[in-house]
Amino acid sequence: MNKTVKLFFTGTALFTANLLYAQNTILLQVDKGKDTINKNIYGHFAEHLGHCIYGGLYVGDNNKKIPNKDGVRLDVIDALKKLKVPVLRWPGGCFADTYHWQDGIGPKPKRPSMLNVWWGNVKEDNSFGTNEFLNMCEVLGAAPYLSGNVGSGTPQELSDWVKYTTHPNGSSPMPELRVKNGRPNPWNVKYWGLGNEAWGCGGNMKVEYYANVYRQYATFMTNWNNSDKIFRIASGASDDDYHWTEVLMKEIPHNMIDALGLHHYSVISWSKKGPSTTFTEQEYFTTMQRALKMDEYIIGHKAVMDKYDAAKKIALAVDEWGGWYDVEPGTNGAFLFQQNTMRDAMIAGATLNIFNNHCDRVRMANLAQIINVLQAVILTKEEKMIVTPTYHVMEMYNVHQDALMLPVTLTSNDYTVGNEKLKAVSVSASKDKKGLTHISLVNIDAAKAQEVVINIEGAGFKLVSGRILTSDKLQNYNSFENPDKIKPVSFSGAVLDGSKLKVTIPPFSVVVLELK
């Protein structure tokens, strides 16, 4: 064989190998959808922690420097409206089980202060309380999710909170107190958490004990058997604690519970979380390993729930999730302020795909947290406000809210680091009420683009358009000096050819396609 021919065959072999490597395939069954992606999967979480509430959402009634309404930042409200925030969990987190709601109502000068023992031993002046939060949710168009104090509170206290926020005028002293505090009509709060992380900061309870505590508190949460029934969410498991789920499903009467919580963070190690912006590829890979565990955990908890609730009446609410790293250098370690890079966009895109694909049981999720804490969608610094890569992913994905989930079958290449492998591609799809089909795709590979062939069954499409979130470096982020470094742009890497859709996804990118 002469040299020219040998080079030809060598080149052909390499080309063929590259093509084989590039063959990710997806089967999209447009006519097989049966489950709806509950918009509350795109929920958020705000805790009295660091600058999430004070300096983030709320700057005070008397602030003249930052435009606000009743103390709530107007730039934050505008940004969150674009995100279409469906539900917002408050006031915690660990803070919830030390919070006594009556300390946060009435004239602000008369509200008692408290020590926030969980997050830095800072003074909490209770200037942002029930009325402020619920009025803000009305402005946002978001349903409030109140996390009740079961750890250090009483059944009476939680029962009174339900009455204060939901009962009609004149029905009891609590609505009278609400009217006295300037709110003539109830807010009709639907979503209620009965404690938070009862296995940890919510009381270090054994699950058998918490099941009885739950039953006690739920009994006194009035109006739960009426037509405007409140939605009660039990403090659920952490990660793969399937025993916790088993006991709650077995021991709590199903007419007393509407959802089980689940908490899972994408953390490399609780003792050494690693930096938020100067991470290595190995640290990125490990973070994505942790993030993709969400699929395994949901499958495991679903299997337990299915044993006791085959009709899937009880929802799974992943009411805390997101990336967790070391705080930014020079900031208060208890305030959990971290930057938000393309790594966080990968966590968000892949996790939301998992939630979408499990929407038969997962019907709420709450990203931790909404502003200035952990995997925030917004960061503030005095008058300045920026949105993060995670914000952009959630905005791109809000086309899935309340849409019909379309089944997808994925065969993905591996993303390999050392001897470890992860699936490079993640996907979910839906059809909205206007008949538009959307496909969200994530390529977590830090170095290689992925060629994806989507085989479409059950529909014919003529047009494809899309947006992409990407950057030239995985560690890139939006800063107060350069707030638009990362933002979605139009995507032209998808080609429709009959019943096949061919897509080229750059490394560490999120793509959302629209098919007509």
Cα–Cα distance, 311 to 303 (Å, whole number): 12
505 contacts 499 by C-beta, under 8 angstroms: no
**Other residues' Cβ atoms within 10 Å of the Cβ of residue 114:** 17
471 contacts 430 by C-beta, under 8 angstroms: no
Q: Which of 47, 124, 197, 451 is catalytic?
A: 197
What sign does the CA torsion over 59, 64, 68, 74 have? negative
- Hey, what are 50's tokens? 């660091």
SS (H, E, C) 146-213: EEECCCCCCHHHHHHHHHHHHCCCCCCHHHHHHHHCCCCCCCCCCEEEECCCCCCCCCCCCHHHHHHH
Is residue 296 annotated as part of the catalytic site, yes or no?
no
475 contacts 513 by C-beta, under 8 angstroms: no
Is residue 197 annotated as part of the catalytic site, yes or no?
yes
Query: Which amino acid does the sequence have at 359?
Result: C
Distances (CA, A) of 158 to 51, 188, 206: 26, 15, 21
**Other residues' Cβ atoms within 10 Å of the Cβ of residue 381:** 12
- Hey, what are 245's tokens? 């789920």
Q: Which of 320, 328, 382, 481 is catalytic?
A: 320
- E strand intervals along 388-462: 404-406, 408-411, 414-417, 420-423, 425-431, 437-443, 450-457
Residues catalogued as catalytic: 197, 320
